[in-house]
Structure 1
Amino acid sequence: MKFNYPNGKKYVQKNSLSKPVSNSTKDHSYSNRGMTLEEDLNETNEFYRERKIAVIHKKPTPVQIVKVDYPKRSAAVIKEAYFKQASTTDYNGIYKGRYIDFEAKETKNPTSFPLQNFHEHQIKHMEEVINQDGICFVILRFSKYEQVYLLEARHLLSFWRRMATGGRKSITKEEIEEHGFLIPLGFQPRIDYIKVIEAIIQSYKR
């Protein structure tokens, strides 16, 4: 099926949420189950909802269907569609009365996170959320190390401004380790980012 953006450009599937490379020496029952970052987060959010911890959902992407084939009367096949508008961030919801909004990205680069993984409209959206006192962040996974970090959007915006003024076009892993939070991978939930959010909320009260 062919997708196009509102400006007419062809949509190309990115590998930002691709499956990590399998390693037969690892314990697949726990540390590496071949799940994408999106699948891990969806499973985590389901865990939160079932236990009434938080209500977080993946945002749907509005799509305009323009061409459909009917090979059978009982079946329809979508041949061409367009994204109605540029997406903002991947997830949003509520935790203890606080609005939560975040983007999730993955990289195979072992030493830095390329800022080209983000788009101008996403950065603007995060800025708007922060200005309304929402809790906004990005979840970043380094697939080589099976490491997941939470980086508050205020830091991402700082690195983005650095790039815009001629600085480096990526965030080093050392900078993410310094300004972000490492989220240990678990079983239930898989990526327990709410613990980090709780710590951030408590820091606001000090």
Structure 2
Amino acid sequence: MEFHYPNGKKYIKMETAKKKASLPKNISYSNRGMTLEADLNETNLYYLEQGIAVIHKKPTPVQIVQVDYKSRSTAVIREAYFKQPSTTDYNGVYQGRYIDFEAKETQNTTSFPLQNFHAHQINHMKKIVDQNGISFVILRFAKSEDIFLLESKYLFKFWDRMISGGRKSIKKEEIEVSGHKISLGIQPRIDYINIINQLYRIGESN
């Protein structure tokens, strides 16, 4: 089956199995995170099972353009396109408050490129804030495993700085000052709800 991005470019899946096979067997990953998405999905499942919050990853819309349809039981998708996502990665509800956030990671060690975000995502997050929703981004520096929660209001400032001709990235030092570091745990993996409680004092009302 072939997948294509909105610009028509063919999607090529990475051969992760071959890469894993080539890694030295004596490397331990016991204290390292999985992908940011996998860690967040595990975190959200924990929140759901414990009755803490209901947060889900938004599905990526796909447009199917070619199907071999001999019968319902043997239908095979031959070609499809990823549609351009219009909003952010995750949303849901916690203690009566709407939560909406984006998750990004980078291989850079000293800054976070703003090109990882899109104008339509920024506009979406601004609308969430205007409606008194809780909006933020979770940023991960892959090489150091440093994870931060950055409120959208600070992302907007860095974004506007870029639009005005300023730097096209956020320095890690700026994220350390404006954001909140999250230590990787076990259950939950990335406890961002704890940060939300501190910022919005939600837990104090329970």
1:46 is aligned to 45
Q: Give 1 or 2: higher helix fraction.
A: 2
Deviation at 1:74, TM superposition (A): 4.3
Q: Structure 2: how far apart are the matches of 1:24 and 1:168? A: 41
Q: Is the 8 A contact 2:3 2:82 kept in 1?
A: no
**Aligned counterparts of 1:120 and 1:89: Cα–Cα separation in 2:** 11
Match of 2:106 in 1: 107
Secondary structure of residue in 2 paired with 1:45 = helix
Aligned AA for 2:169?
A: S
2:75 aligned counterpart, secondary structure: strand
Give the residue type in structure 1 aligned to 2:53: A
Distance in 2 (CA, whole Å) between partners of 1:23 and 1:140 is 28
Please give the alpha-carbon distance, in whole angstroms, between the structure 2 residues aligned to 1:53 and 1:41: 15
Match of 1:182 in 2: 181
Contact 1:40 1:190 in 2 (8 A): yes
What is the CA-CA distance between 1:14 and the residue it aligns to? 10
Indicate conservation of the 8 Å contact 2:137/2:152, yes or no. Answer: yes
> Helix, strand or coil: the match of 1:188?
coil
1:136 CA displacement: 0.2
Which residue of 2 is the match for residue 197 of structure 1? 196
Measure how far apart 1:87 and its partner are: 2.9
Identity %: 62
Deviates more, 1:162-171 or 1:76-85: 76-85
SS at match of 2:78: strand
The alpha-carbon deviation at position 2 of structure 1 amounts to 1.8
Q: Is the alpha carbon distance of 1:185 and 1:26 closer, same or farther for their aligned partners in structure 2, counting shifts above 3 Å?
A: farther
Q: Structure 2 length as normaliser, TM-score?
A: 0.85
What residue ranges of structure 1 are gaps of 5+ in the alignment? none
**Superposed, which structure 2 residues align to 1:86-97 within 5 Å?**
86-97=85-96
Q: What does residue 135 of structure 2 align with? A: 136
Report SS of the residue matched to 2:129.
Answer: helix
Once superposed, which parts of structure 1, at least 4 consecutive aligned residues long, lie more than 4 Å away? 11-15, 22-27, 70-74
How far apart are the structure 2 equivalents of 1:100 and 1:14? 31
- State the distance in 1 between where 2:10 and 2:122 align: 20
Counterparts of 1:92 and 1:129, CA distance in 2: 11
In the TM superposition, 1:138-153 aligns within 5 A as 138-153=137-152
Aligned equivalents of 1:117, 1:24: Cα separation in 2: 33
CA shift, 1:85, in A, is 4.7
Partner of 1:3: 4
Q: How many residues align?
A: 195
Partner of 2:29: 28
TM-fit CA distance, 1:76? 3.3
- Report Cα offsets for 1:43-95 as digits up to 9, x if no partner: 00000000000000001122221112359984333222234453310000011
SS at match of 1:177: helix
Is 1:121 the counterpart of 2:120? The answer is yes
Amino acid at match of 1:104: A
Per the normalisation by structure 1, the TM-score is: 0.85
User: CA separation in 1, counterparts of 2:97 and 2:69?
Assistant: 46
Rounded to whole Å, the distance in 2 between the matches of 1:27 and 1:127 is 41
Q: Over aligned residue pairs, what C-alpha RMSD do you find? A: 2.7
